[in-house]
A and B are shown apart, each in its own frame.
Chain A
Amino acid sequence: MSGNAKEQILDFVRARYPQAEIDETQDIFALGFVNSLFAMELVMFIEKTFEVTIPNDELKIDNFRSANTMAELVDRLSPARV
């Protein structure tokens, strides 16, 4: 799941910022282009794509720093797989 999630998240971020070089560990905030519009889009994208609802207490900057941390967040919020 997270490998796939990571790729989808990276694709989304790269599509928005084609000029930036981004890998799964890259701190996207350090690149300086994250504004509240993009943050909102990111949250909507994650909720829609992975069918999760991100509760207020998970809306922390550390959860959104990189594709890795976002994929971990998705894993935590997804119903357990059997």
Chain B
Amino acid sequence: MTTLAETAPGALQVTDRKSARAFVDTHIVPYADAYDRQGRVPEELLERMTAAGLWAPFLPRETGGGGMDLVTLGEVHEEVGRGCSSVRSLLTVHTMVSWAVQRWGSPAQREQWVPALGRGDVLAAFCLSEPGAGSDASGIATNVVEKNGGWVLNGVKKWITNGQRADLFLVFARTATSIGAFLVPRDSPGVEVTPIEDMLGTRASMIAEISFRDVALGPDALLGPSGFTAGMVLTGTLDLGRYSVATGSVGIIQAALEACAAYASRRTVGGSLLKDLPLIQAKLSDMVTDARAARLLVAEAGRLKDAGEASTIMATWVAKYFASTAAARHASEAVQIHGANGCGHDYPVARLYRDAKVMEIIEGSNEIQRITIASQAEREII
């Protein structure tokens, strides 16, 4: 099959916020509500993203990547999140897996997967949650046993973003001694994908339940160290996912703000424009302020990542907590400002409202974020 990436070599390359904004305004914003209704992102957009180099531009240049720093990556994900949280979710999980393979993979694993992940020829999904375990990762029941020098995988993963479409799954499973991360190609015998439709939010993110029945894997399926540090593969990968969700949440606030600023400048109530009513102004001012504050927290987390500072992990928790709760608050107020129009299909704010709720649940729910941040509170004593 000839792809857009091949037929459109001169397509706009996304290298920074400005080019991401142009890409999103052209190829995503006009269609995001339709994706939401159809419950999927069309293949054509996935190919456009490939042509634009959007999938994993942070991978090092020597692997064929763009070597993009993480502050810029955050800005790009914010822009995509402004356009459509479902598309941003696809980017998030692909980013997580691509980073994990680059960071923890053996030379052979990197050679096999990284260039293809970087180009977007192989799309990836992250498989941790199960019907019986979400927040508590140590409760997962999916397991592997060593057999004939390789592994046999059994279990069920649920709520897997892009599970319907991804070619490669990073699956967390219980080993004899700990939890390990395993690279499982979708076409492995024993893998079964069941779409989950009609979600509340990020409805187009092609979520699936994936079952693994006696899936035989080679010895090279295990990613990264085993033993005590295996948990670090999970921690590091979730950290980057959390960062991406935080940026996407900033995008939701920005989208709510832009929609409300436009609507309040047109809509009159009792002879006054909405934007001239003090109670509406209060909502708009809080959106402006929180968008800026959230963006700064995210940028700080990104800067610490680029510097390799350990404190980025905590900074990312704080940024995601602030940005996701602010997104939920402001998306709700955005519906309020639009009145009945906010509840219908003609404006994007109903979608933002549903998508924002998801941000408070994924990559560490609000409750887990608060528990984690509180447990580190003594570090803040200065």
Note all chain A residues with C-beta closer than 8 A to B372.
Answer: 37
- Whether A42 and B310, one on each chain, are in contact in the complex, defined by CB atoms closer than 8 angstroms, is yes
Contact A39/B307 with A15-B379, A18-B378, A56-B106 known, Cβ cut-off 8 Å: no
Chain B neighbourhood of A16, CB < 8 A: 379
Most chain B beta-carbon contacts within 10 A, residue among A56, A60, A64: A56
Q: Once the chains bind, are A43 and B308 in contact (CB under 8 Å)?
A: no
Are the CB atoms of A40 and B225 closer together than 8 Å? no
Q: Which of B37-45, B91-99, B233-241 contacts A (4 or more CB under 8 A)?
A: B233-241
Which chain A positions have C-beta within 8 A of B235? 36-37, 39-40
- Nearest A residue (CB) for B309: A48
CA distance A32 to B372 in the complex (A): 17
Task: Check B225 against A59 for contact (C-beta < 8 Å).
Answer: yes
How many residues of chain A get a CB closer than 8 Å to chain B's CBs?
Answer: 24
CB distance A61 to B313 under 8 Å? no
- Determine whether A41 belongs to the interface, using a CB cutoff of 8 Å to chain B: yes
Answer whether A43 and B232 are a contact pair too, CB < 8 Å, given A37-B372, A56-B225, A60-B227: yes
Known contacts A36-B231, A39-B228; decide if A48 and B236 are in contact (CB<8 Å).
Answer: no
Q: In the assembled complex, which residues on chain A have CB atoms less than 8 Å from the CB atom of B268?
A: none
Q: Among residues 287 to 313 in chain B, which have CB atoms less than 8 Å away from a CB atom of chain A?
A: 307-313
Cα-based distance from A31 to B225 in the complex (angstroms): 23
Query: Across the interface, which residues of B come within 8 angstroms of A56, CB to CB?
Result: 104, 106, 224-225
**Bound CA–CA A15/B307 (angstroms):** 20
Contact A36:B224 (CB < 8 A) given known A41-B310, A44-B309, A45-B310: no
Q: Contacts A47-B308, A56-B106, A59-B225 known; A40 to B232 CB distance under 8 Å?
A: yes
Question: B229 in the interface, Cβ–Cβ < 8 Å?
Answer: yes
Q: Give the dominant DSSP class at B's interface.
A: helix
Complex CA distance for A42 and B236, rounded to whole angstroms: 12
User: Which partner residue on chain B sits nearest A44 by CB separation?
Assistant: B310
Bound Cα distance from A40 to B307, whole angstroms = 15
Q: In the assembly, what is the distance between CA of A35 and CA of B378, in Å?
A: 17
Give the residues in chain A near B308, CB-CB below 8 Å: 44, 47-48
- Give CA–CA (A15, B104) in the complex, Å: 28
Q: Could you tell me if B310 and A48 are in contact, using CB atoms closer than 8 angstroms?
A: yes
The interface bits of chain B over 349-382 (1 if a CB of A lies within 8 angstroms of the residue's CB, else 0) are: 0000000000000000000000010000011000
| Chain B residues within an 8 Å CB radius of A44 | 308-310, 312-313
Task: Write the chain B residue with the least CB distance to A34.
Answer: B228
Report the minimal beta-carbon distance from B93 to chain A, rounded to whole angstroms: 19
Residues of A within 8 A of B227 (CB): 59-61
Q: How far is the CA of A47 from the CA of B231 in the complex (A)?
A: 18
Tell me which residues across on chain A come within 8 A of B378, comparing CB atoms: 18-19
A59 with B229, Cβ < 8 A, contacts A37-B235, A40-B236, A40-B313 known: yes
* Smallest CB separation, B104 vs chain A (Å): 7
Residue of B nearest to A58 (CB): B225
Closest Cβ of chain B to A19, distance in Å, is 8
A39 CA to B308 CA in the complex, in Å?
15
Whose C-beta in chain A lies nearest to the C-beta of B305? A44
Question: Which residue of A has the minimal Cβ distance to B223?
Answer: A56
If A16-B379, A56-B225, A61-B227 touch, whether A37 touches B313 (CB-CB below 8 Å) is yes
Closest Cβ of chain B to A21, distance in Å, is 16
Min CB–CB distance B275 → chain A (angstroms): 44
- Please measure, in the bound complex, the distance between the C-alpha atom of A38 and the C-alpha atom of B313, giving whole angstroms: 9
| Interface 1/0 per residue, B191-234 and A, CB below 8 Å | 00000000000000000000000000000000011011101101
**Max chain A C-beta neighbours (<10 A), residue from B234, B235, B236, B372:** B235
A31 vs B104: C-alpha distance in the bound complex, in angstroms?
Answer: 28
**Can you list 11 residue pairs at the A/B interface with Cβ under 8 Å?**
A12-B310, A29-B228, A36-B231, A36-B235, A40-B236, A40-B313, A43-B232, A44-B309, A59-B229, A60-B227, A61-B229
Hey, which bits of chain A sit against chain B, CB under 8 A?
A: 12, 15-16, 18-19, 29, 35-37, 39-45, 47-48, 56-57, 59-61, 64
Q: A19-B378, A36-B231, A44-B309 are in contact. List 12 more A-B contacts (CB 8 A).
A: A12-B310, A15-B379, A18-B378, A36-B234, A36-B235, A40-B310, A43-B232, A44-B308, A44-B313, A48-B309, A59-B227, A64-B228
The 7 A-B pairs of least Cβ separation, nearest first, read: A36-B231, A41-B310, A59-B229, A44-B310, A59-B225, A48-B308, A61-B228
